[in-house]
Amino acid sequence: RRGDRAYDPEEVTGFAFGFGLDRLAMNLGHIPDIRMLVENDLRFLKQF
């Protein structure tokens, strides 16, 4: 109806959600500082 190729909400329904995988990993791994996930220190990497 709008004239573009987007899904028509009358035809298609679904879920959209964003998950912070970093924070989930921090929770599971009891990692205290989010920066550790991008510093790539081997002393950290080797624990996982």
> In the complex, which residues of this chain contact other proteins (CB under 8 A)?
9, 13, 37-43, 45-46
Tell me the closest approach of the beta carbon of residue 22 to other proteins, in angstroms: 9
Burial of 28 (C-beta count, 10 Å sphere; 0-12/13-18/19+): exposed
Residue 28 or 42 with smaller CB distance to other proteins:
42
Q: Contact, 24 vs 30, CB < 8 A?
A: no
Tell me the closest approach of the beta carbon of residue 29 to other proteins, in angstroms: 14
Tell me the closest approach of the beta carbon of residue 30 to other proteins, in angstroms: 18
The Cα 31–Cα 24 span in angstroms is 10
